Amino acid sequence: MERIAMSQEERDWLDWLKRARDGKMTQREAAERMGVTERWVRKLLRRMKKQGDAVVLHQLRGQASNRKLPSKTLRGWMIKAGMWQPGSRRIQDVHGWRPRRSGFGELTQWDTSEHDWLEGRGPVRYLVRMIDDATSWSWGRFVERDATPFNMAVLWEYIEKNGRMVDVYTDRDSMFTVPRRKGESEQERQAADRLTQLGRGLRELGIGSILANSPQAKGRVERSFLTAQDRLVKQLRLAKVCTLEAANAFLEKEYWPEWNECFARPVKDYPDQHRPLSEAQDLAAILCHAEDRVIANDYTFSFAGQRHQIQREQVQAGMRRQRLRVELRLDGELKARYQGNYLTISECGPRAAAPPPVACRPPRRDHNAGGKSAWMQGFFDRPTPPLWMLIGDGT
């Protein structure tokens, strides 16, 4: 028996036609159910005697449309539009997962997640996290803002716990890299070697910086944030945490130990690639906002709109017009270093107001300025004596 594929509408039509044929309903009722005229129902019943159940199928089923375009023409359009690649199929480049590093501290992924961590109970929105690429060992802090000083503070704590990692893996946020200028190529940007404050700090610490080209490139830290936004939020809720200080205390005492125990690989199974700080590396002097300033002739320098005076006892010969390094520490203290030595400085008072200009006599007015003198005004309007009188006076 031949099998006929029908839609549900076609099955309903066939059922109503059979009922009209068997006298179980009138042709008018069948036409109303099918949404056609009675004449069409009678025509279908006549066809049904010859075609059987296939009478409800459209006669053009399985046939090409009269409006069909030639395959060759259609393929040409698709190739032009980039929807079809001619020739044999080629395997596209597939970016596989990057293998983990082999040592603890060889690469540390670093990122920030913005989320309502306390569900409105307190102003805690930013979690800065560092996760080891080889072991998934994690450390981080809740901070007030995703800004350079707060990220420096988290890095400071990480280094104090473990030492200096070999490389950090971050995104291309403005904290970590200086964007290219208009019309500047990537090679020109690298040659210019412009650094952010964090970039400078990493270089002075001897830590390499690798910038990811996409969020997927640093997928381990991205996926860990998705877990934390579900797991950590619930734990903070159960602990009834409502402040930034309490949230950081919960991270240090509860969340990070549990995470590193359950999800991280044992650190002792991997070689430790962290390096201790050298004697010349002072975290307070490196992880700060540092700028170079020029010493003026009066042994002052300006910083953040304020002038500072170098103490007279530390003034040296040849110091004028030379550069010194100004460091604004994370604790708010301002330091100035000249030729490797820190100077004693003090804020200068407000500059004396400029004396008012000395009153002087107004300049002499030039009466001939502008071309004509004023004495000629109205000269030709004056009355004159008759001409014969002038002649008579002359004789």
Report how far residue 18's alpha carbon sits from residue 53's, in angstroms, rounded to the nearest whole number: 9
pLDDT in single tens digits along all 395 residues of the chain: 567 777 888 888 888 888 889 988 899 988 888 888 999 889 988 988 888 888 888 777 777 778 877 776 877 888 888 887 776 566 666 666 778 899 999 999 999 999 999 999 999 999 999 999 999 999 999 999 999 999 999 999 999 999 999 999 998 888 998 888 888 887 887 788 889 999 999 999 999 999 988 777 777 888 899 999 999 999 999 999 999 999 999 999 999 999 999 999 999 999 999 999 999 899 999 999 999 999 999 999 999 889 999 999 999 889 999 999 999 999 999 999 999 999 999 998 766 666 777 766 666 665 555 555 566 666 667 676 666 666 665 54
Q: Is residue 218 part of a domain?
A: yes
Residue 261, domain CATH: 3.30.420.10
Of 306, 327, 347, which residue constitutes the final position of a domain? 347
Query: What stretch of H or E contains 394?
Result: helix 387-394
Q: Is residue 72 part of a domain?
A: no
Whether residue 203 is found in the same domain as residue 147:
yes
Whether residue 115 is found in the same domain as residue 252:
yes
Whether residue 121 is found in the same domain as residue 262:
yes
Report how far residue 108's alpha carbon sits from residue 102's, in angstroms, rounded to the nearest whole number: 12
Residue 107's SS3 state is strand
Write out pLDDT tens, residues 76-94. 888 888 887 776 566 666 6
Whether residue 260 is found in the same domain as residue 294:
no
Whether residue 125 is found in the same domain as residue 224:
yes
Whether residue 262 is found in the same domain as residue 292:
no
Whether residue 264 is found in the same domain as residue 119:
yes
Count each helix (H run) and each strand (E run) in the chain, helices first.
Answer: 12, 12
Radius of gyration of the chain (CA): 44
Angle at 345 (CA atoms; ends 344, 350), nearest 5 degrees:
165
Q: Is residue 188 part of a domain?
A: no
Whether residue 264 is found in the same domain as residue 316:
no
Q: Is residue 150 part of a domain?
A: yes
Residue 155's SS3 state is helix
Q: Is residue 305 part of a domain?
A: yes
Of 239, 269, 299, which residue constitutes the final position of a domain? 269
Q: Is residue 166 part of a domain?
A: yes
Q: What are the start-end ranges of the E strands in 247-305?
A: 289-294, 300-303
Q: Is residue 374 part of a domain?
A: no
Residue 13's SS3 state is helix
Report how far residue 79's alpha carbon sits from residue 86's, in angstroms, rounded to the nearest whole number: 7
Res 379: pLDDT: 63
Whether residue 125 is found in the same domain as residue 240:
yes
- pTM across the whole model: 0.65
Range of the domain at 36: 8-56
Instruction: Please give the distance of CA 15 from its chain centroid, rounded to a whole number.
Output: 63
Q: Is residue 390 part of a domain?
A: no
Write out pLDDT tens, residues 301-350. 999 889 999 999 999 889 999 999 999 999 999 999 999 999 999 998 76
Angle at 188 (CA atoms; ends 187, 193), nearest 5 degrees:
100
Whether residue 199 is found in the same domain as residue 321:
no
Of 269, 296, 324, which residue constitutes the final position of a domain? 269
Whether residue 213 is found in the same domain as residue 117:
yes
Whether residue 295 is found in the same domain as residue 265:
no
Q: How many structural domains comprise the chain? A: 3
Quote the tokens at residue 238.
Answer: 């159960």
Tokens 């070999």 belong to: 166
